[in-house]
Every structure is written in structure tokens, then in C-alpha cells.
Structure 1
Amino acid sequence: MQVLDGFPSIWELGGCCSLRDLVIEPFSGRSLSVDMELFLRKLVTSQTSLTSAVQWNPIPVHCVSVFFSSAVRVFYLLGQLSILFCVSICVLKQSSYPRAISTIPSKFQLKLPSVLFSFKEVNNLCSIALNVPCELESVCDRESEDSDVQNGNSTNDAYKLELSRKDCLTNSNIGNLDTNQPSSFLEETKNSGEDVIMYLEETNEEVLSKRILKLSRQNKPKSALAIYKSMTFSSLKPDLHACNSLLSSLLRNGMLDIALKNFNSMKASGLTTGHTYSLILKAVADARGCNAAMNMFSELISSKNLKEKIDIVVYNTMISIFAKANSWYQAQKIWNILKDNGQVGTIVTYRLLVCTFVRCGQNELAIDAYSELIRNGLSPEGDTMHAIIGAYSREGKYDSALNVLQYMLDNELKPNERACNAVINSLGKAGKVKLSFEVYELMKSLGHAPDAYTWNSLLNALNRANRYSEALQLFERIRNLQSVILNVHIYNTILTSCHRLGLWDKAIQILWQMEASEIPVSTASYNQVIGACEVARRPKVALQVYYRMVRKKHSPDIFTLLSLMRVCIWGSLWNEAVEILKLSAPNGSLYNAAIQGMFLTGKIDLAKKLYTEMRERGLQPDGKTRAMMLQNLPRRSMRNRRRNVQNYKF
């Protein structure tokens, strides 16, 4: 007789007490046999399948019923939300078949369907379990009397038990049983799958792990979860790949709470990898925000047992989470934690850091991350170099930006249009016109068509080098070749060229073109035209532009008024200058410009009048205005000079 790890055999337990003591009485409030309960606990948690247990020879029929009913009670007392019922029944087809009592022929394939029941169906199933031994009680009592239990001899006993297919299915609510399926077939249920446990005929961990993997890939998370729960219940461990695939399937189907519950189970069982933590952290961030993900990450790295499993992939996941939210400060924090824990960043790490810092305007941090990448001996990717070119350009480090561009060309990497434009703009701001046009030619050789940003950068480069005439020539070339890309920035840049050259007529012509093209004309555009009129000493034209500006409902700024004040004074339009002061808000800079201009043009009395008005309005004169007032005091006696000085408030 076989014995399971020191526990008494089913045959021996069958004779230790009456059938009513083992099956019926425990449900009436009496305690279950300790040996039976221990045996059942061991049996249901061991890797020994129920088929093997039933095939122990010899085995009386009522012992199978005893096992079933007692198992119901054990799980019922444990208060599980989902209960496993291992139902051992005969093969059911169109008619009933007798069941072997003493032995089970080798050719007879015992069918053990995997049945899942919710907690609400416990009462019905308990009734089924109790009805079976009641029908057999009289037969089993005679069996107990006539058979030699101690010697295990039951070959002379033959009993028949017939269960109709209809009654079995109606009472138990199992559903249709397909007896053509193999004995290892696992039926899927329509339950939620969260706390479901199934009887596993197959106990090979590798085979079951492959089933979890297959179901997860087929987007069947409930079925995969049921197998996982059943494996853990039976002390079987799925492999790490299957666990990660299950979590991924749950998260894809929006089952975050269930995924978190199983994640905790996997974490306790040591079935986690860096990929596991990455999946969970990303899902938590998407569903509950970056702060929730950061809190979970902090808990993970604070655990000594889990800290070793937090690899660089997990850190990259956290950086990408904050990069998506444009939270550069949190990304920097993860970067510091990474270095403090002795981790070394990968190419992906630095690509995320550099791109995030550049996008958030933290160019210095981006340069630091890129420098660390180079120190670690890593080769930057194209995206990283494109981003760092922008950072160098914004910081005015055109030489470093040009070096990175050259590095890309040396390594047969094609710089994109944005990187070329950034280098051109940086060189143009530094007055490196020749280099700017060389990069422009390189850009065309790479197949990139120049856009509005490219042309504007080249025009600015010419203006910064005081080559305004060449800028006008380039503008005419742009207008002839690509007039559609002309925008307000290009127009304002070329208006600056007209301003410097004093080409007021060209400036006005460009201004009319802007208005005719329905390009929004800004206050800065009008300022450049008025400035061109100032250089050309065209005060009346400047006033006309100013009045048109007001009619277009553009508010003049201080630069507009200063330029207009200077051009009116140099054009001897004194009344217009005074009118501008009256209509504008009190401003010390505007009064200083008017007073100084009138002193220089010989309008001393008007200048003194404006100075007195300025002081009365509470405005402070600058040093140059005070000096001019002192120089133009009347030359009388020292007493009169002191008296005149006292009359003015400096």
C-alpha cells in the first residue's frame, strides 16, 4: 500500500472511523478527524495529482466521496473567496457506466474535469457531496463489515454506482463537460479570473509556464491568471518570462489592480526581474501619475532585498516617465540616485537625460549629461547629438556644436535639418558668416531644403557682420526663389537692414508688402521703419508711419516714441514733439531725450520749460540732462547764479 510522505493511506483512513463520522457529521458541527484534515491539506497542496491518488490500489468508492466532501469542508472553513473542488466522476456519455471499485483497469482513462466555483455556489456543491455518500452508506457499511480492511483486501467486493449526466450537471451547475478532451485539459470559466483556482492535472512547471505565456500573448489574461493562481496554490513556480508576460497582458487590458495584487505575490515569491518593475512602474505612472510611480520606486530601492534587482532598465523607465511629463527636476533626481547606487548609465539613459534637459531648456544639465556619456566611453546616438547641438548653440558654444556636427559626419551619421539650422544660427550670432554659409552648403548637400529659419539665420549673420547690402541681396534672392516661406521674422530682419542703411523707401515698400500678404505686422516692424526714417532724416514720413500704426490699433512702445521724438527734433517739428509728450504716459527717458535734443538744437527755453514740467510730474532727470541744464544757466553774478540754481530742482 502506498503512503504519501508519512501520512496514512486512504484505505487506512477509510477504516479509522465510520462514514458518517468522516463525511456527514463534520458538517453538523463536529470537528473533522485531525488525521483526515492533515491528509487533505497535504494532498491538495502537494504535486501529486488527484488521478494518482484515486488510482492507489485498492480504493473503496466511499473513500473518493470522503475525500471530496471533506475537501469541501476544509476549503469552506478556510473562507476562501474562490474554492477548488476536485470532482472525481465516472466517464459520462450517452449512458451511465459502472465504476470499478477494487481496481481501475489500465485501459480505463479516468476523466477529471477542472471545475471552478465561486463562493456563492458552495451550498449547492456541498449538497451534492453529501448526497453521494448517503446513497452509498448502506453499501459501504456492508463493505466495511465484509472486507478485510487491515490487510487491504477488497478484490472480492464489487459495487456499482450510476450517476446520470443530467442530474450531475443540474445539481452542480458545472456546465457541459467535454469528455473527448485529454485528461490534462484545463477548462476556462466565465468568472472574473482574479481569485480562481483550478485543479491542475499537469504538474510540469515548464509546460504550465508555456501555457501562461501562450494565453498572455493571445490576450487572454483571465485564463492565464487562473493557471498562475493554480500553480502558486499547488506550490508550483512559473518561470520569469511567463510572469512578465502575464503582467503585461493584464496591464494591456486595463486590469491594474489585479496586476498589482499579482505583482506583490510575485515579489514575495522572488519571481520578479527588472522588466517586471518597469512594467508596473510605467502602468502606475500612466494610471495614477508620476508621483505615485515615484513613491513606489522609492519603496523598492529602500528594500535591501529588492535593491539588487533594480537594474539600469528600471532607472531608464523612471527617467522616461518624467521625460514624458517634462519634469526635468525629477529626471535629474533619478540620475543622481542612479549614480549614488553605483549604477552606470547606458546609451538609452543619457539619450533620455539629454533630450529631456534640452526640451525643458536646461542646457547646462544637458551638456553635463553628454560629457558624462563621453567620459564613460559610450558612443552617442543620433538623437542625443541632435539635442546636444541645440544645447551648445543656445549657450553660444558654436565651436562645440560644430565639433559634434563634424563627429556625426565622420561616423556616417546624417545630421537632421534642425541640427544644421542650430549650427548656422549659432555661427551667425558669433559673426562667423563664412562658416554659416559653409554649413548651409553642407545642409543642401545632405538633401535638406532650407526653410524660413535657415534664411533668417543667414540674414542675421550678415546683419551682425554689418553686411547689410548683402542681406538685402539675399532677401531678393529668397523672394524670387521661395516667396512662400517668407514670414514676419524674415521681414523684420530685412527691415533691420533697411534701418541701418537708412533706406526708408525700401522699408516702407516692405511694410506695404507685409500688409498686402496678410502677414501680421508687429510693433517691432513699425519701429524699424520709423528708425529708417530717423536715419534718413525724414520726420514727416516717420509721423505718417506712426499715425498709420495707431490707426491699425498697434500700441507704440518706448522705442517707437524715442525714435519718433528724435526724428521730430532733428526735423524741427517742435510742436509735434511736445504733442507726443502730452499724449504719451509720463516717462523719464522720453523727457530726457526731448530735453537733450532741444539743447543740442538751440531750443534752450523750450528745453528748460520741459525740464520744469518733467520735475513737476515727479520724473528724475539723468546725469546728461543735469549737465546740460548747468551748462546753459545765464552767466551773471555768483549771487544770481546761486539763486537761479536754487529755483531749479535737480
Structure 2
Amino acid sequence: MLEVLGNSVAVPVKFFGQHHSYSPNSHEYRSHYRCLHCCAYLSSEIKPNRRCARIYGLNVVSMSEEGHTWLGVAQSRMSQMDLLFRSTGTDNSRIVQYEVASVEFESVSDEENTLIQKEKGEFNIDPMEQKLPPWGDLGIQQDSDFKTGGANQPSRFSRGSVTVNENRIHFLEERNEEVLSKRILRLSRLNKVRSALELYRSMEYSGLQPNLHACNSLLSCLLRNKILDDALMIFEFMKASENASGHTYSLILKAIANARGCDAAVNMFEELEGKSNIKKDFDAVVYNTMISICGKVNNWVQTERVWRSMKDNDHIGTTITYRLLVCIFVRCGQNELALDAYHEMVQNGLKPGDDAMQAIIGACAKEGKWDLGLTVFQNMLNSELKPNLIACNALINSLGKAGKFKLAFRVYGLMKSLGHCPDAYTWNALLGALYRANRHADALQFFESIKKEQSSQLNLHLYNTSLMSCQRLGLWDRALQLLWQMEDSGLPVSTASYNLVIGACEVARKPKVALQVYEHMIHQKCTPDTFTLLSLIKGCIWGSLWDEVEDMLNQVAPDPSLYNAAIQGMCLRGKIDSAKKLYVKMRKSGLKPDGKTRAMMLQSLPKDSVRHRKRWSSHTREALNSVKCYHHD
């Protein structure tokens, strides 16, 4: 007897055979040989348990969504027809529910058995082979449950991406494309990958086209789960059916960049861009995506190419476009390109954002365009935007390099009013601004104020700037104090710092103090360089310490710059004989004098008498002759 739970509805199912019908009220079973379909009575209130409805030779899956039922043919059997309704068990989603019923037949006549045997031979032909879907044979599996993706579900990897097993196709009772598209959209948003993909492929097999929104949502779902191969397959279908948008291309390009790198995405972009029927689907979003992909790997060359291509194809950039361009170019050190992008943005009537304006201030500082940087800074304040500390420091440094120390300190005051705390870079920029403006006394005074308020932020650069001011002013004693403070604070004192102190002693005509600093420098195991020795030689010459000059020249390796300085200093101080002797020694060492040294030696020749010239040795005459030769040359 046939048992039906609840209210039953008749669902016609076509197959290769006879027409079987059953009436639940009269309990009669009838067969009509001229008809090739059957009716199964399903209940809308059957509980989701695992029961079987047996009909000869057909597996049918009934899926109900909000009162709508659609049937999917899975496969045929050779022995008897089974109407099998399978349940997934634990899925409580309202999107898909599986209903089951139990149907039994009491008896079948001999004539019916004959027809059934004949029917079996006809049913062996797989109807799926008559019309394969566009993606090929999906390998319909026998007696496989309809399941969603899970942890134990097998998957395959291709080119570093995951793809689900080939899904089954279902014959859809619902034929409304909008309704089915909404189902794909909801399944994709719920991350039901397998269900959404099977429904999409079933629509494609049935000749139905999901709308663009549903396809993009499915693409996002697949890419979210790193199923790149299936996403690319759907992408190709969308392109072939001209059902792709800029958002579609953006999704695929980002996925390719994440899975295979920036170069692969650039190659795909160039290939797509070369097709005229696809180029019209490109919009600013696609170009922004490619600019962002190239910017992540600091590929500014490809970034510029995409930007130029965007303009060549008559696409107008958005605020995001120019923000990306400015930030990428500044980060890659291409400040001119960043400024070009900023000017184009302003010309197009777009308002730059906070990060783009701060990046432009940094670019202006590096390019020395302090006026543009100051204008951008003022525009930020007028727009109630708050420049960060880095932008403020960059602008102060740019103004200081241009000698605009008053503007630099004005920006410093605005920076403090914005709540920023000055750091070491701020102090370096302000102190350097005073030094470049030849405000050396103010620089030393400002250094003292920094030392009182922010002694922990004192660094080697601040000390060296102060030492340079001492050298310009000839404050040798103050320079010595700063040197001792540096050593006491534990800062690594460099050769440049000792050179500045020796230079201050040179300006103040304190050669003995300079020699003491030099000896202390050697004691601290700090190697002197050419500038150290030049400063010492000049100081000793003006202090008439001739023996010290000769000892210094004898202790170091022969250097033409040192000999030139010593000879020129001796000539200026009237020590012509000592200069000539040193010149002869220089020539013996194979060193070549510069033009000023040769000129000074030539000027000293007429002052000597013929008697003195005859007393000179042959080496002296050869040296003087060489001076004449150089002079004629």
C-alpha cells in the first residue's frame, strides 16, 4: 500500500517508459503505455528524515525553497526505478530543504513486467550524453549524496589554487532567471560554494543566464574560498556572453595578482586591454585595481603605463586614482611624476585627500618647491585637515633649505598648535634653517634651549651644526666645550666633529690648541683625514710653526693637496726658500703641483740674484725649469 503523509501534491516526472499514476483516495494504480511520464505524490509537510520512495528506474532529488519545488535527475538504474530523496542531515538553512516520502507498489502484472523489461533497454541510453553542457562531462556519480563543501570533502589543486570536484547538474523546475539569480546571490553570500556553483551550472545547462549581480557574487564567493580555476571558467563564460563588467575584471585581476603575482596580472590586463570588445567594459575601477596591484610591489614603471593607458582610452581618473598615483610615486622616489599626477587631479576638479596632500608636501620638500608645499599645507588647514608630524617636518626642512627661517618657525608654531610634539628631525630642520640663514649666534642659542628642554633628543647632527656655527664665528673655546659634552654623553664622535673643532681653532689663530685637539683625536683612535691635516697645516703656517709643518708632512703619506697648501702658505708668509725646498721635495716624490703653486714659484724667481741661482744645486735648477715649462704650457 502507498502511504502518503500530510497533504500530497502530484509532480509529473518524464522518463522513457509508461505512464504510472496512483490515486491516494481510491488506492488504485494505473498504467498507460502511450505516455512517457509518471506522477509522484509528495508531501509539503514531510519531516526531513531519510526515507525512500521507490519507483522504477529513476533517481530524483527534490529541493524546495520557500514553497517552490524543483527536481533534478541524477541517473538511471538497470534493475528497478527508485525515487530516492536524500537529505543532507545537518543543514538548517532555509534556502534548501530536502523532502522525503515512502511509496510502495503491491503488485505488477506480467504484461507490465514485459513492458518494464523492454523499457529497461531503452532507458540504458544516458540522456545526459545527448546534450553535454558547455564545460564538458561533469562525471555524474552514481548513488552520491547531494552535499555541500566540508572539511573532509576531496579537492584538487591546480596552479596553486583550489577547485571543488565536478558538480552535478539538476533539471530545474523553476525557469525564471531572476528568481534563480537571487538564489545564486543568496547562496554565494552565505558562502555555500557547492550549492551556488551547481545551481549556476544547471542554469547554464538549461540555457538560462544568471544576471550580472549573481555572477559577480558567485565569483567573489569562489575567490574568497581560493577556488581560482572554477572562477576563471565562469569568467570566460561571462566574457563570451558579454555579461562582464568592470567589477568582474577587477575581481579576477586581484585574484590573479594574489595567486600568481603582479606580472601575471599585468599580462592578463594587457591581453584583455588589447581586445576591442572588452576595452569598452573597462572603467576607472579596473585601472585603479591595476594601479594598486603594481603599487604594492613598488612597480612605478607599470603604474605609469597603466595611468597613461587610462588617459589614452579617454577614461577620467577618480580621487582614488590620483591618491594611489601620488602615494606610489612618492614612495618610489618619483617626485616629478607625483607632482604631475597632483596637478592633473586639481585640473580635473577633484579634491585631494589627506594622505595625497601630505605625500605631495614630502615631494615638494625633496624637489625644493617650498612654495607649492606651503600652499598645500595651507589648503589642508583651510579644509580642516590635520597635517601629520612627518609633513610638518618636511615643510620646515624645505623652508630651511631655501633660507626661509621665519616661515619655518611659523610652521613650527602651527605644528605645536596641532598637538604634535617636536622630535629630533624637527630640531635638526630648525637649527639647520638658522645656520643656512647665517644666524650662527641664534643657532647656538637655539641649541642651548633644546638642550635644556629636550636633552634626550640631542644627537650628533645637532652637535655638528652647532660646531659649524662655532667655526664660522671662531669660538674655539665653545667648540671645545661642545666636544667634551659629546664625549661625556656617550655619542660616537666622528672625524668630522674633530675637524670642525680644529677648524674653529684655525679661524681663531690658535694652532697650538688645534695640535692638542689633533693629539687627543689620535689618542681616541679616530683616524684623521685630508681635511684634518689641511686645517692643521694652515693653522701652523699662520702661527709660524714651521717645524710642526715639516714633521706633519714627513709623518703622512705624500699628498699633493698638503704640499700645495704648505708651499702656498710659505710663499704668502715670505718663506720663499722653505717653499722652494718643499717644492723640490714635492717634485722628487712624483707629485704634480697645481696651477696656483706653479704661479707662486714663478713669481718668486726674479727676486733671486744670478749669484744665488748659480749656487743652487742641479735638482733645484731642474725644479725651476719645470716651473717654467709648466708656465709656458
> TM-score, normalised to structure 2's length?
0.74
For 1:180, the equivalent position in structure 2 comes to none
> Which letter maps to 2:144?
I
Provide the residue aligned with 1:297 in structure 2.
Answer: 269
8 Å Cα contact 1:115/1:187 also seen in 2: no
Contact 2:228–2:255 (8 Å) recurs in 1: yes
Deviation at residue 532 of structure 1 after TM alignment: 1.6
1:130 aligned counterpart, secondary structure: coil
Aligned residues: 527
1:479 Cα deviation after fit: 1.1
Q: Is the counterpart of residue 557 in structure 1 residue 536 in structure 2?
A: no
Q: Call closer, same or farther: CA 1:110–1:433 in 2, change over 3 Å.
A: closer
Structure 2 CA distance for aligned equivalents of residues 64 and 92 of structure 1: 26
Whether 2:369 is the aligned partner of 1:397: answer yes
Tell me, in whole angstroms, the C-alpha distance in 2 between the residues paired with 1:480 and 1:413: 33
Matched, 1:198 2:169: yes
Q: Is 1:132–2:80 an aligned residue pair?
A: yes
Aligned-partner Cα distance in 2 for 1:427–1:272: 51
1:174 matched to which residue of 2?
A: 144
Which residue, 563, 568, 574 being the options, matches 1:596? 568
> C-alpha deviations, 1:154-178, integer Å up to 9, x for none?
xxxxxxxxxxxxxxxxx95434x8x
Structure 1 residues without counterparts, runs of 5 or longer: 1-8, 16-56, 66-89, 102-108, 117-124, 147-170, 178-185
- In structure 2, the partner of 1:352 is 324
> Once the two structures are superposed, what CA deviation does each residue of 1:353-380 show, in whole Å capped at 9, x if it has no partner?
1122222222222221111111112111
CA distance in 2, matches of 1:452, 1:537: 34
Deviation at 1:112, TM superposition (A): 7.5
Shift of 1:643: 7.5
> Which residue number in structure 2 is paired with residue 32 of structure 1?
none
* Equivalent runs, 1:219-234 vs 2, <5 Å: 219-234=191-206
Kept in 1: contact 2:187–2:196 (CA 8 A): yes
**Offset, 1:635:** 3.1
Q: Among all aligned residue pairs of Structure 1 and Structure 2, give the percentage whose two residues are the same amino acid.
A: 56
How far 1:302 sits from its partner (Å)? Answer: 0.2
Retained in 2: the 8 A contact 1:194–1:222?
Answer: no
Partner in structure 2 of residue 161 of structure 1: none
> What letter corresponds to residue 169 of structure 2 in structure 1?
M
User: Aligned partners of 2:449 and 2:263: how far apart in 1?
Assistant: 54
In structure 2, relative to structure 1, the CA distance for the partners of 1:467 and 1:234 (3 Å cut) is same
Partner of 1:164: none
- Give me the whole-angstrom Cα distance separating, in 2, the residues matched to 1:62 and 1:172: 27
Q: Deviations over 1:538-562 (max 9, x none)?
A: 3333334334444544443333332
Determine whether 1:340 maps to 2:312: yes
Matches within 5 A, 1:420-499: 420-499=392-471
Q: 1 CA distance for matches of 2:73 and 2:117? A: 35
What CA distance in whole angstroms lies between the structure 2 residues aligned with 1:250 and 1:469? 69
Which amino acid in the other structure matches residue 239 of structure 2?
Answer: K
Gaps (5+ residues) in structure 2?
1-12, 19-29, 39-45, 58-66, 83-106, 119-140, 156-163, 615-620
More strand by share: 2
Q: Aligned-pair distance for 1:596?
A: 1.3
- Which residue pairs with 1:417 in the alignment? 389
CA RMSD of aligned residues (A): 3.8
* Partner of residue 627 from structure 1, selected from 582, 590, 599: 599
Q: 1:314 aligns with which of 286, 301, 321?
A: 286
Cα distance in 2 for partners of 1:263, 1:560 equals 71
Q: TM-score w.r.t. structure 1 length? A: 0.72
- Give the Å deviation of 1:99: 5.2
User: What are the residue-to-residue correspondences of 1:227-246 with 2, within 5 Å?
Assistant: 227-246=199-218
2:625 is matched with: 646
Q: Which residue of 2 aligns with 1:71?
A: none
- 2:240 alignment counterpart: 268
Deviation at 1:187, TM superposition (A): 6.0
- Cα contact 1:197–1:233 (8 A) shared by 2: no
CA distance in 1, matches of 2:561, 2:50: 107
Change (3 A) 1:640 1:585: closer
Kept in 2, the 8 Å contact 1:596–1:628? The answer is yes
Relative distance call for 1:377 and 1:608 in structure 2 (3 A) is: same
Give the distance between the partners of 2:68 and 2:258, measured in 1 at CA. Answer: 49
Going from structure 1 to structure 2, the CA distance change for 1:471 and 1:245 (only over 3 Å counts) comes to same
Q: Once the two structures are superposed, what CA deviation does each residue of 1:271-291 show, in whole Å capped at 9, x if it has no partner?
A: 322122222222322332222
Change over 3 Å in CA distance of 1:197–1:639 after alignment to 2: farther
- In structure 2, do the counterparts of structure 1 residues 304 and 194 end up closer, same or farther at CA, with 3 Å as the change threshold? farther
| Inter-partner Cα distance in structure 2 for 1:321 and 1:428 | 37
How far does residue 60 in structure 1 lie from its aligned partner after superposition?
5.8
Q: Secondary structure at the match of 2:77?
A: helix
Paired letter, 1:562: L
CA contact (8 A) 1:424 1:436 kept: yes
- Conserved in 2, the CA contact under 8 Å of 1:322 and 1:328? yes
In 2, the alpha carbon distance for the partners of 1:552 and 1:137 equals 117
Alpha-carbon separation, structure 2, partners of 1:485 and 1:318: 43
Distance 1:284 1:631, change over 3 A: same
Partner residue in 2 for 1:379: 351
Q: 2:499 aligns with which of 499, 524, 527?
A: 527
